[in-house]
Structure 1
Amino acid sequence: MLLTVTVVLSIVAVIVVQKIWWGSNITRLPFPPGPPRKWLVGNLLDFPKTRPWLTFREWTKEYGDIVYLDVPFKPIIVVGSVKVANDLLDGRSSMYSDRPYSPMIELLGWDWTITFMPNNSVWRTRRRYFHKYFGPSVLHQYHTILLQEIHAVLSRTLEQPDEVQQNIRNFPGSTIVRVAYGARDASQLREYVDLAERALETSRRFLVPGAFLVELFPVLRYLPSWLPGGDGKRFAEAYRPVVVEVQNKPFNEVKAAMAASKALPSVTYSLIREFQLEDVQGAMAEELDETAKSVVGSAYGAAADTTTAASEAFVLAMAMFPEVQRTAHAELDRVVGSSRLPDFRDLESLVYVRAVMLETIRWMPTVPTGIPHSASTDDEYNGYHIPKGTTVIVNAWAILHDPNDYPEPEKFMPERYLDKDGKIDLNVRDPTAVAFGFGRRKCAGFDFALISLHMFMASMLHVYRMEAGVDSLGQPLVLSGEGSDQGISSPITFPRHVRPRSVKAERLIRDIVLAEDFAGEQ
């Protein structure tokens, strides 16, 4: 009890000191507008508990495209337009490329990932290696694995029509595991994918702004987990061992296999060999090991969940908007024909399918409020003061549902991206420029994700028809375009009727030969 009182009094004292210090700030510039602030607690009680992107959108409608929230210990601005996001995060990237301190990321042990690291020399080095092994110039090396894993989804969907969603969930994780670690066989692959799934449950929770009170009051991290306000610490205690295992287990197993001359080609193998050639010892060797673990682990962690969510949203959209599906079927019949499955050579000609992919990314963005940035210095913007350390949240969901850029935003309309000649209309805002982040912190796996999604969507559409189906009581299933209330948002409903669209399509699926032993493939 005494400890609780002491902590509470400490929090109040720090808030008061903070208010006095900010009140004495010599700047004459006001903060950006925002909801009225209450004495001592500022906007803490106004902070949305669920679906913050909806509340943020209402605030930007009322206060403008940059909204200031006075939250103790963590001033926040919410950005509600592409213009402001580009001005700050792209135009002033040297000032806005940092990440805010996150007690949950530290408590959970995710601070080794490229996504969440602060902007420093270590981050820059690791991101450079990430681009070397996952950038557009090397993606052709992974085409075989991508096609094999996509074909596995097609085949298993036919064999297990009631497990469509789980089969789709397996695809991104399986692909990146094989690319990153060179899994020996289906059993090891399944083990690694399951491990990633358990670890990524954490990101779905802590990426929601304000989901844990410790994010708004970092001092709560010092409270015992059993006290009120200790929910974040309890959550971290339960999941941290899994996050640590994600970082270490697959990497260490590749390293052990290399020592025994049994390792398979993979990004991990290539990175370790590259660093071994530098012939360093001691602390430098350990640092290079940490770099390699961070590079492959970041890919392993990020791709598995966000690409999965987008793949699920695509299947949902096809069932909800059958006219889109029919148009895509017609394009595939014209470009690919009925005697084979699509391959990467077809993608350039599958323009409508690309438009379907773009609309999926816009219609249900997988990270509705993006990954927050942090101001590394005081700044002035449009006559407003943005203090050093301010957390910058871009409301990607609201931007991608702005009717000025995307008329009737709740509708799924790939045609919005096509010009009169049937080509991608460069005058329509590209949703990937919003959904994958801004400035130097743009998603490093952007290119890998897009080519994976384009090929997956083309393949599913070529052989399957996706419809709502019926629920467990035999009643017509009512589908919703609403995403889950999580930091990584997935559909809250999912179609139950995914069947081959023709006898020829079913024959193509049955002709797929699944690879259970991946030795030598890359």
Structure 2
Amino acid sequence: MLSDRLLDNIVLVKLQSAVNEVELGNVLLGVLTVAVVAAILDYAHMLYLRSKMPPGPVPWPIVGNTFSLPDNKPWIYFEQLSKKYNTPLITYWIGRNPTVWINDAWCAQEIFEKKAAIYASRPRMIVFGELGSGQSNLVTMQIRNQEEREKWRIHRKLMHIGVGVQSVRGYRAIQNNESKVIALDFLKEPKEYVKHLERYATSVVSIIAFGRRVASYSDPIITEVIALMQLAADLNVPGKSFPMLLETFPILAKFPSSMPWFNGLGSRRKSKGGHYFFYTLAEEAIEQYNQKSPSEQAAMPTPYVKTLFQEAEKYNLPVEELSGLTGNLFGAGADTSSSTLVSFVLACCAFPDTVKKAHEELDRVIGPNRSPHWDDSPNLPYINAFVREVLRWRSVAIIGGQPHSPTQDDTYKGWLIPKGTWVQGNVWAIHHHDREFPDPDRFYPDRYLDGNDHKRPFPNDKGYMTFGWGRRVCSGQALAEQGTWISVARLLWGFNIRKARDSGGKEIDVDIFAFTNGLNMRPQPFPCEIIPRSEEIREAIKREGNEALQDLKVHDGESQYRMSTFYQKEKKRIAREPVIDEQGNVSFVKV
């Protein structure tokens, strides 16, 4: 009897277990079925969009074309795809999101300039948006509604106060003096030409922003800030590795920041009460400026941060946004300007015939006893063309900066560009289209001169699209163009810049294709010779350089802050200081 009950219980347990397994199996089958159906519908939607959008390779479900991206320089790959499909723009899928790549100057003009109002926004960006500065920074700010549009207009207005077209002429004396110091530095340490160019570019924006120059290329404001800018540029390139793979799998951004795929991005969390590095530099700069005598203040332009803080009061901008506006000056001026000038040195080494023509014009118009000035520009057509070719030949922001995004569905030649799509200008392809630029890899300033057989129509008067388009054009464009002109003209006037020679006296070739892989590209390190053209010119460089240093003394100063230690100190401070929320509750932030 007992054994019968036991047997019955065993049978019941097994039956229940079997039922549970069947139910679990049904649940799993149901979940799997729903997932498969959802994936099929999602892929069908991708293929439907693809049929209406510009041509491009067929995407895979979920991952799109991400894993077909090349390891290096994807802008060349997109240029090749444009030629393959014989179209000025192509569609390439990063995960489930289509990216439209514009590879043609006229197409870029039609979309970004003539339709600037609807292409002024940014798309959803995981790495540099949601995990980065997002809506607190002018560069990454989206414009999806009227409130966001008004905020963006305020930021743009405040940035224009610092480096807008109307402001930059007031910085000519700074750029003129600092470029004279470059020439003096080239005399002293020609092998360190890259560091001298980085010091120059950083010092100019530091004077404009903070009223304080950078006197040495070993100053941490150079070594650390430029390293940060280059890291950001290296990360911000479409790719099939982390962190940019987060754009393909955005769900991974929801995981804790300790996960390995966040390496290199820093903390995603903004601690309450935490200061920001550039904001702290701004506070320090305002304090130092206020301590100067009235005569010293009269001898220098008011630091941008002082004007910025005064203007920002009426808009009640938070610390994070003020820090972003200040830091953007470095992004718009330091790394990009120095990279442009390094490319100029490379061009001089690789194409010595252009340097010879520049010397002939400078000798005829300027002579050996003084260096060029902007007032000489009308009489220096070849130098003007030389500078334009520097900006075209190896443009720094090779994919035109951050992507644009239409705020409504748009069409181009019958192709759909859906609202919210990533739309990127391929500056490499635009500046290497042989329709506008025959023999595009040749550095050839004559292509900008009237009567030359290489001069071709271009959609804008400048003859290049180096600084982006429309309402998201680089804020520092006027400053960069002005500084590039005076630096290139002065260095061409002062020096023979040519290939280095080995111990046997043989020229060391340079590679005009050896560039970094980041968003802001620059030449890989290369040796060169930089020699003053004559004793008269050498003496003029010394005289002008030393006079410039005297004129710049009013900007001498030093910051007590270092980026490498700033955030560690802030974490420790925040960890031990109380945070009071809106309800008056007191807590301590765990770091």
Q: Which TM-score band applies after superposition, normalised by the shorter structure?
A: 0.7 to 0.9
**Could you give the per-residue CA deviations for residues 311-370 of structure 1, whole angstroms, max 9, x where no partner exists?**
011111011111100111111112211111112211232221111111112111112111
Assess if the C-alpha contact under 8 Å between 2:344 and 2:390 holds in 1. Answer: yes
Kept in 2, the 8 Å contact 1:199–1:246? The answer is no
Aligned runs of 1:169-208 on 2, under 5 Å? 169-183=198-212, 186=215, 190-208=219-237
Alignment of 1:334-345 (within 5 A): 334-345=364-375
Q: Look up the match of 1:515.
A: 549
Contact 1:419/1:425 (8 A) holds in 2:
yes
Aligned to 1:499: 531
Q: From the superposition, tell whether residues 109 and 271 of structure 1 become closer, same or farther in structure 2 (CA, over 3 Å).
A: closer
Alignment of 1:62-461 (within 5 A): 62-63=84-85, 64-106=87-129, 107-109=131-133, 112-119=136-143, 120-183=149-212, 186=215, 190-210=219-239, 212-224=244-256, 227=259, 230-231=260-261, 233-237=262-266, 245-257=276-288, 265-275=302-312, 285-287=316-318, 292-371=322-401, 372-420=403-451, 427=457, 433-461=464-492
For residues 410-432 of structure 1, give each alpha carbon's deviation from its aligned partner in whole angstroms, at most 9, with x where no partner exists. Answer: 1111001001399x978456566
Local SS of the residue matching 2:52:
coil
Residue in structure 1 matching 2:71, options 29, 49, 60: 49
Cα shift at 1:236:
0.8
Instruction: Letter of the 1:510 partner, please give it.
Output: K
The answer to whether the 8 Å contact 1:315/1:495 transfers is: no
- Mapped to 2, the partners of 1:130 and 1:347 lie a distance apart of 28
Distance 2:268 2:509 in 1: 35
- In structure 2, the partner of 1:3 is none
Q: TM-score, normalized by length of structure 1?
A: 0.86
Per the TM alignment, residue 217 of structure 1 is displaced from its structure 2 partner at its CA by 2.1
Q: Which moved more, 1:435-444 or 1:256-265?
A: 256-265
Percent identical: 27
Give CA deviations for 1:72-101 in whole Å, capped at 9, x if unaligned.
242111111122212221222222111122
SS at match of 1:32: coil
Of 32, 39, 53, which aligns to 2:54? 32
| Cα distance change on mapping 1:399 and 1:92 into 2, 3 Å | same
Deviations 1:44-81 (A, max 9, x none): 22233311011101110112222112332421111111
Amino acid across the alignment from 2:362: L
Provide the secondary structure at the position in 1 that maps to 2:465. Answer: helix
CA distance, structure 1, for counterparts of residue 366 and residue 169 of structure 2: 20
Q: How many residues align?
A: 501
Tell me the residue number matched to 2:578. none
Letter in 1 for 2:198: R
Q: Is the 8 A contact 1:352 1:414 kept in 2?
A: yes
Deviation at 1:131, TM superposition (A): 1.9
Q: For residues 494 and 54 of structure 1, do their structure 2 counterparts lie closer, same or farther at Cα, with a shift above 3 Å needed?
A: same
Distance (whole Å) between structure 2 residues aligned to residue 44 and residue 17 of structure 1: 17
Contact 1:331 1:352 (C-alpha < 8 Å) held by counterparts = yes
How far does the alpha carbon of each residue in 1:206-229 deviate from its partner, in whole angstroms, 9 at most, with x for none?
A: 2322262113222222335665xx
Deviation (angstroms), 1:448: 0.8
Deviates more, 1:218-227 or 1:167-176: 218-227
* Counterpart code for 1:397: W
Q: Which runs of 5+ in 2 are unaligned?
A: 1-30, 144-148, 557-591
Q: C-alpha separation between the residues in 2 aligned to 1:115 and 1:413?
A: 33
2:424 match: secondary structure: strand
CA distance in 2 between partners of 1:346 and 1:99 (Å): 40
C-alpha spacing 1:80/1:13, structure 2 compared with 1 (3 Å): farther
Q: Secondary structure at the match of 1:434?
A: coil
State which drifts further: 150-159 or 341-350. 341-350
Mean CA deviation greater in 500-509 or 490-499: 490-499
Aligned AA for 1:192?
Answer: I
Correspondence 1:478-489 to 2 at 5 A? 478-482=509-513, 483-489=515-521
What letter corresponds to residue 375 of structure 2 in structure 1? R
> Match of 2:63, as an amino acid?
V
Deviation (angstroms), 1:115: 2.3
Whether the aligned pair in 2 keeps the contact of 1:303 and 1:449 (CA below 8 Å) is yes
**Matches of 2:473 and 2:169 in 1, distance apart?**
22
Q: Check whether the contact 2:436–2:456 (CA below 8 A) recurs between aligned residues.
A: no
**Residues in 2 aligned to 1:389 and 1:132: alpha-carbon distance in whole angstroms:** 30
Question: Which ranges in structure 1 are unaligned for 5 or more consecutive residues?
Answer: 1-8
Q: Report Cα offsets for 1:272-292 as digits up to 9, x if no partner.
A: 34456xxx6xxx5444x6655
**CA 286–379 in structure 1, closer or farther in 2 if over 3 Å, else same:** closer
Q: 2:397 and 2:190 mapped to 1: Cα distance? A: 28
> Which range is displaced more, 28-37 or 61-70?
28-37
- The one-character-per-residue Cα deviations of 1:244-274 (angstroms, maximum 9, x if unpaired) are 8553232121243366677963111223344
Question: Which amino acid in 2 is paired with 1:198?
Answer: A
Partners of 2:463 and 2:475 lie apart in 1 by 13
Please give the TM-score of this superposition, normalised by the length of structure 2.
0.76
Q: Residues 244 and 420 of structure 1: is their aligned pair in 2 closer, same or farther, counting only changes over 3 Å?
A: farther
**How far off its partner does 1:190 sit?**
3.0
- What SS class does the counterpart of residue 432 from structure 2 fall into? coil
| Matched-pair contact (CA < 8 Å) for 2:202–2:222 | yes
Letter in 1 for 2:194: Q
- 2:499 is matched with which residue? 468
Q: 1:140 to 1:30 in 2, by over 3 A?
A: closer
SS in 2 for 1:75: strand
